[in-house]
Structure 1
Amino acid sequence: MATDVPNVKGQKCESKLTNNISKMYATIPVLLAVLCYINGVPGDFVHDDVLAILHNRDVTGESDLLAIFYNDFWGVSMQDSTSHKSYRPLCVLSFRLDYYLSGGDSRWFHVVNITLHAVVVFVLTQVCLNVLKMSSLATLVATSLFAVHPIHTEAVTGIVGRADVLAAVLYLLSFYMYTSAVTNFRLERDVNDNLTESASASFPAKQLIRVASSMALALAAMLTKETGITVLGVSLVYDLITSRKHVLKWLKPGLTAETKQFISRITIIIVTFSCLLIMRMGIMNFEKPSFKHEDNPASFSTSITTRIFTFNYIAIYNFWLLLSPSLLCYDWTGGSIPLIKSLLDHRNICTILFYSVMIWSCWRCVRKMFLDQSAVEKQLRLFLLSVSLMVIPFSPASNMFFRVGFVIAERILYIPSIGFCILIAQGFQILCSALARFKSIFTAAMLALMLVMAAKTVCRNQVWESRETLFRSGVRGLPQNAKVHYNMGNFLKDEGNKTGAEYHYRQAIRLNPFHPSYHSNLGTVLSNVNETKECYMTALKLLPDHKNSLFNLGSLLIDEGDSAGISLVQHSLNKDPNFIEALLVMGKVMLKAKNFSAAESYIKRALDLNPHRPDVRFSYGYYMHMTDNLDAALQEYQHILALHPNELTSIQNAASIHSDRGNLIEAEQLLKRALNVKEDCEDCLSALGNVYIRMGDLKKAVISLAKATHLAPNSTKIHLRYVRALKENKQREEAREHLQHHISKFPQDFLAIWFAYNLSMEENRISD
């Protein structure tokens, strides 16, 4: 009797082919994720990276390891009133490990971010294939789109975006683990409908382990980025959708074992969410973070209609950025999105249309799934899950529950974009199935879209290369945003371009005249002292306790010899005891007053806060110099120069110590080095001339001092030193003529007149 023998060899070949295709579909998006971001590796630490990493003692290893769990993302104590309350210890821990391994090399941080992005893409592939049961083509589209989407540039290339990327890894793993608990329990019951009591008890144990693992990963995601807690909401929606028949049986008597397990899972999610939320609120003492009007203007509006209209439009604008990421910016605060103050604003039409379509679509899906038992269940389930993955992670940033410190932040769209990409892939799959004859056209269009997005991502990476490229892109993209002009002004000021800095500060003030920092920083680049004071006073009128304005005005008054400035600087220090600049100024004031114990207290406090800052090390060296501890002072100057070879003042002071000790060759070498840094340094030329006089090389002394007198025509000290060099070089006539010329310009210069008298006495020319 003939029997049908299964083609085992054929089945194995088919299975092998399927596995190869799956591996290919998993590999391509991962490669795209790496290739699109690889050009961002050379980028420096920029913008928020500087505060969160370079200036964060929890990252650099200067604080105790446990401090990470007491401080916020920026290294400020969670109990501090100035803290942003962003508690992300696992992300900070990863930064600390990177800093330890790389020595603070930004390239290492970028490589880790790109690697994590690739991991997210890989895990997303598994979720799409194994959890959402998407086709290989739809999975490839969703994951490839996610891999190359330009909206992720801030999260991946911006180093502090690590919080979002690492949280996404944990987010997807938590979701995957939860869905495996649901799916595996259902599969086991399908295999054997007549389970014994002992067998039935064993399955919940396995399920409980998976659910517990999911909850633990959700906790880890939350400790990486606050958004991580929302994975519990997504898991809840998944369970409600896939176990919907148990929802309908919930209130009926005689619950099945599977329905009881469903209720248990939902209960675990709700209890876990409540506990995590209470824990998170407790960490911040149940206090809300304080933000400025500029951070989120709509949230400060007194009109409830303005808040509702604007917040809903901003949510839609975020969706638009996912759909069309043509305009991207590192900062969307202030006037980036003008407030919607009227019902007649045309932007409300977009809001109404968007929400109408979304609500109608979701309602139809829910109705069909729960009431009609539709045959297209898979598509409906996938639609609802993709919307959930897009909406639920975004909800904390929507201002729906609490005020956030931004209008739009591109990096917070990293996790919500997962749902968006799945939604686009699903739509692409439906189009290809419904209009099969146009499949090649749709495929070509999708490939073109991905190519354009990949190119945009590569270009956007270059924007994050340096402070200059980032800030210039902000001014180009959002010229109506005062903050981008302010940041550009700060950069130009640091570069010594005071004219450019003044322009951008004035633009920032034009757009937002009520921000004290804009006025205060404008004052720092103005040459007119009265205008500078006016800027500082304006800033203090806007905010009497503005520490930078108090410090700037106080420092200016101290330089003018007005003791009132000391109280202003001290006031700024009272506002912020860790204000290093104020500590250094107070240390300098105390040194000048010969109050060495007070000076030591201020300077050592600054040294404890940041021992690597050149100005802090210099102040400590100068303190040692002034207290005649020359060995320690010289050691400090040498330490600074080892790290910052072109630090001019340290070179000069080290040369001064060598000169005082008679080490004239060392002094000469240092002063020449100083002139290589700044060739028109009159003090360096004067000191070098004095060294040459002491070395007996009068010709070189005359040359150096002649240059110094041209650079400092009003300096009596330099001119008299030049006259001395001329005299000792037997150029007495030139010495006398130069001295007479100087006295004719400054007839009240008693020191020059006294020097001329002594010179005449030496030459028996008292009549002169």
Structure 2
Amino acid sequence: MKQRAFTLGVTTGVTKIETKHSLKYPSSWPQYILVGSFAAACYMNGLGGEFVHDDVPAVVLNKDVVASSRRMLAAFGDDFWGTPMMDSRSHKSYRPLTTLTFRANYLMVGLEPFWFHGTNVFLHVLATIMFTKVCVKVARMTSPFATLAGLMFAVHPIHTEAVTGIVGRADVLACVFFLASLLTYHDSTKKCRLWTSIIFGGLSILAKETGLTIFLVNLIFDIYQRWHLKKTSVVRWTKEKSTYIKKTFIVFLTFSVLIILRLVLLRGSLPKFTRGDNPAAFHPSIQVRFLTFSYIASFNFWLLLCPAHLSHDWQMGSIPLITSLLDFRNLLTVLIFVLISTLLLRTTSGPKTKSLNQDPEAKHSENTTLVLGLLILVIPFLPGSNLVTTAGFVLAERVLYIPSMGFILLVVQGLRNIWCISGRHRQTLLSLILFLLIVHGLQCVARNKDWKSRESLLRAGVRTLPHNAKMHYNFANFLRDSGRVDLAKAHYHTAIRLWPTYASAHNNLGTLIKNGDEAKKHFLLAIKYNQGHLNAHYNLGQLYRKQNRTYEAEQMLQKCIVISPNFTLGYVELVKLKLMNESNISDLLKIIVRQSTEAEYAIMYADYLNQKGNYMLALKYYNSALSVCNCKLEAFTGAATILRRLGMQSRLFQLITR
């Protein structure tokens, strides 16, 4: 029934185009219900998924989300992962609004992934409906083709990472406010609500940094829409021109101020990425970097056109560097560049179809759609393209959530032009469109299954990108945690074969190898390729300690503390080695207790004080351990022994009663 209704709607709409060429088709709630239903239906089977991949550090382990005593305003001082922005280790991704939505989910339902996924699906439905409205109100599409655009956006498989991956909420939420800003600025049926649009733009930035691009889209599209003002006399100063210039100045000023504020939030340091995150960014040749990044931008466009192979992680060799102009992949870059250039030229010339040439308003409508499509496709994509600034990834499908709207506008405009000249072949074209929607919808459903669990996601990643070293490394970590050691070793070896300098793979493989000399070789290789690798130094120190090589063990543990002064385990192991005099051991134990809230370390220090006869201070730390965890038998026994030794019978009775 839905397909039949859609067919009748498109046929009726196109008939009106051919007869009256009227462009003012009112949008209706049925079309919004239709696109919203499709958007929800495609992601229903993803609601039962777990916290996977980046969901764990961004939600489960993020103190801004799960810490009950954490102040809500703390999210405005931390990055997306809960690290203070001023910290040198900060990722510098500032998305407090998204973090607050995670916290709202947590306060309402705890760490129940169903509701986190449900919120993402709701936001996707909302974005789909708003995009459909933008197609009607801003892009000036007829209602049937606006509905088609909404349906294509609802079911496009490239969106699965943004919608089914909980962390992708940043992109979806930013898109909702992006569209709200676009609508309030350009809705042709209402007066421009400038400050409302600016507020929505600001909220989009607080959801994700790419929301900043809405100000450029609004500004450039407004210049295009009002280009006729340039044709008026320079001498003649009209009220309309004055209002337009004032509005342009306000938008540009707001954009500039927000950029300055974003730079201030960096706190004088840029985020630190590794070569594995983005290999091309570390290549010394400008030509290699330019060719590779240009190809990657073209490859993103190809994924929008043909999303046959999707992955949650495109790092570490997923896309080999382009080191020569003769590389055949440069053809795709040239092809995409020619295509975009052709579309730009198209906006300055009229359509070639006879029916459209007869109506200047229809011509302007097509150009409006093309311009808006190109702006939304290109400008929001630039921050993650590596062509403007270095990103911490090679390619991320979720960053295509907003640009995909521009791509869909261009595709639907092309289909509209084909429809107008297809004549008796329209049924065939309609069948192909319906087939595409069904295939994309089924692909979304299938892709959602990959995001069900950590194992299914990693298996899908290895299957899609078998030459991605990080994919094998992450899968090996899962196999190690699952107790499948032999298979884990095989995938660690594969990761090292694909990326010989992969320090973490060497380190983790070393922890699984029983042969001490072979394990030592991998720990040393990890340190060689990453001199600041904390775990490799610690694991090598542990290996030396087991071999009774106390001096080498001490050197490794001391290096751990140099790398990370707050590394509690390093201090603990140094105490166990008993390499220092009594005063040094006491100082180390104080550091351990001060840096950790775990009861075991307080008990360790209390035991030490008890042995030295400092009973009252020992009692203090035993009680401190019990306040953290009242089921610690060692702390209870130690405290009771001291109270009995000191003859404090009443306090001993209270302790036993408690």
**TM-score past 0.5 threshold:** yes
Partner Cα distance (1:325, 1:524) in 2: 38
Structure 1 residues 31 and 593: alpha-carbon distance in aligned structure 2, compared to 1, 3 A threshold: farther
Counterpart for residue 366 of structure 2: 379
Question: How has the CA–CA distance of structure 1 residues 125 and 625 changed in structure 2, closer, same or farther, with 3 Å as cutoff?
Answer: farther
Shift of residue 491, structure 1, vs aligned partner:
1.0
Which residue of structure 2 lines up, in the alignment, with residue 315 of structure 1?
297
- Deviation (angstroms), 1:600: 5.2
Q: 2:447 aligns with which of 460, 480, 495?
A: 460
Quick one: distance in 1 between partners of 2:311 and 2:408? 21
The alpha-carbon deviation at position 515 of structure 1 amounts to 2.4
Query: What TM-score, normalized by structure 1, do the two folds share?
Result: 0.73
> 1: CA distance between counterparts of 2:370 and 2:125?
25
User: Does residue 165 of structure 1 match 2:153?
Assistant: no
2:84 to 77, 91, 95: 77
Give the drift of 1:555.
2.5
Distance 1:48 1:110 in 2: 14
Corresponding residue for residue 655 of structure 2? none
Aligned to 1:357: 339
Contact 1:624/1:633 (8 A) holds in 2: no
d(CA) in 2 for partners of 1:450, 1:582: 57
Whether the 8 Å contact between 2:27 and 2:133 is mirrored in structure 1 is: no
- Normalising by the residue count of structure 2, what TM-score does the alignment of the two structures yield? 0.84
Aligned-CA RMSD value: 2.9
Contact kept? 1:621, 1:633, Cα under 8 Å: yes
Quote the offset at 1:420 in angstroms: 1.4
Choose the corresponding residue for 1:430, options 385, 399, 417. 417
Q: Which moved more, 1:102-111 or 1:619-628?
A: 619-628
Which of residues 480, 483, 489 is equivalent to 1:496? Answer: 483
Give the C-alpha shift of residue 139 in structure 1: 1.3
Any idea what the Cα deviations from partners look like across 1:165-216, whole Å, max 9, x if unmatched?
Answer: 1101111001111113x7645xxxxxxxxxxxxxxxxxxxxx5xx1111111
Any residues of structure 2 matched to 1:50-61 within 5 Å, and which?
50-61=56-67
- 2:402 corresponds in structure 1 to 415
Give the conservation status (yes or no) of the 8 Å contact 2:59–2:102.
Answer: yes
Instruction: Tell me, in whole angstroms, the C-alpha distance in 1 between the residues paired with 2:625 and 2:91.
Output: 39
1:440-497 C-alpha deviation (Å, 9 max, x unpaired): 2111111111111111111111111111111111111101111101111111111122
- Work out the CA distance in 2 between the residues paired with 1:229 and 1:287: 20
What amino acid sits opposite 2:486 in the alignment? T
Counterpart CA distance in 2 for 1:557 and 1:656 is: 34
Q: In the aligned structure 2, how far is the partner of 1:554 from the partner of 1:125?
A: 60
Listed one character per residue, the Cα deviations across residues 137-182 of structure 1 (whole Å, up to 9, x for unaligned) are 11111111111111111111111111001101111001111113x7
1:551 and 2:538 are equivalent in the alignment: yes
CA distance in 2, matches of 1:402, 1:465: 33
- Aligned with 2:122: secondary structure? helix
Deviations for 1:657-685, whole angstroms, at most 9, x for unmatched residues? 9xx9xxxxxxxxxxxxxxxxxxxxxxxxx
Equivalent residue for 2:646? none
Matched-pair contact (CA < 8 Å) for 2:623–2:635: no
Listed as ranges, the matches of 1:635-646 within 5 Å are none
Does residue 508 in structure 1 map to residue 492 in structure 2?
no
User: Partner residue of 2:132?
Assistant: 125
2:563 pairs with 575, 579, 598, which one?
575
Per-residue CA distance 1:105-138 (angstroms, 9 max, x = gap): 1111111111111111121122122222211211
Q: Which whole-Å CA distance do the structure 2 matches of 1:588 and 1:20 have between them?
A: 77
The amino acid of 1:225's aligned partner reads: K
Note the C-alpha offset of 1:577.
Answer: 4.0
Query: Is the aligned partner of 1:598 residue 2:588?
Result: yes
The alpha-carbon distance between structure 1 residues 441 and 175, as it changes in their structure 2 partners (threshold 3 A), is same
How far off its partner does 1:266 sit?
1.6
**Alignment-mate amino acid for residue 504 of structure 1:** H
CA contact (8 A) 2:568 2:592 kept: no
Residue 742 of structure 1: aligned partner: none
Deviation of the 1:566 alpha carbon: 3.7
State the one-letter code of the partner of 1:54.
Answer: V
Q: Any idea what the Cα deviations from partners look like across 1:662-709, whole Å, max 9, x if unmatched? A: xxxxxxxxxxxxxxxxxxxxxxxxxxxxxxxxxxxxxxxxxxxxxxxx
Question: Is the Cα–Cα contact under 8 Å of residues 281 and 287 in structure 1 kept in the other structure?
Answer: no
Counterpart of 1:223 in structure 2 is: 206
Give the secondary structure class of the aligned counterpart of 1:24: helix
- SS of structure 2 residue aligned to 1:295: coil
Which of the residues 272, 277, 284 maps onto 2:266? 284
Q: Choose from 30, 38, 43 the match for 1:32.
A: 38
Tell me: higher relative CO, structure 1 or 2? Use CA pairs within 8 A at least 6 residues apart.
2
Work out the number of aligned pairs and report it. Answer: 597
CA deviations on 1:599-627 (whole Å, 9 max, x unpaired) are: 353145232xxxxxxxx455556666787
Aligned equivalents of 2:50, 2:581: Cα separation in 1:
42
Q: Residues 422, 19 of structure 1: CA spacing in aligned structure 2 closer, same or farther, 3 A cutoff? A: closer
Question: 1:366 offset after TM fit, Å?
Answer: 2.6
Q: What's the CA shift for 1:559?
A: 3.8
Distance 1:585 1:470 in 2: 37
Please give the per-residue CA displacement for 1:244-303, whole angstroms capped at 9, x wherever unaligned: 101344x71112221222222221221111110011011102432221111111122222
Report the Cα distance in structure 1 between the residues aligned to 2:561 and 2:118, rounded to whole angstroms. Answer: 40
For residue 84 of structure 1, what is the amino acid of its counterpart? Answer: H
Kindly indicate whether residue 321 of structure 2 is the aligned counterpart of residue 339 of structure 1. Answer: yes
The structure with more radius of gyration: 1
In the alignment, does 2:472 pair up with 1:485? Answer: yes
Q: Which residue of 1 aligns with 2:376?
A: 389
Question: Which residue is equivalent to 1:275?
Answer: 257
Compute the displacement of 1:380 (Å): 1.3
In structure 2, distance between residues paired with 1:571 and 1:408: 35
Matched position secondary structure for 1:336: coil
Counterparts of 1:617 and 1:412, CA distance in 2: 43
- Distance, in Å, in 1 between the alignment partners of 2:231 and 2:87 is 49
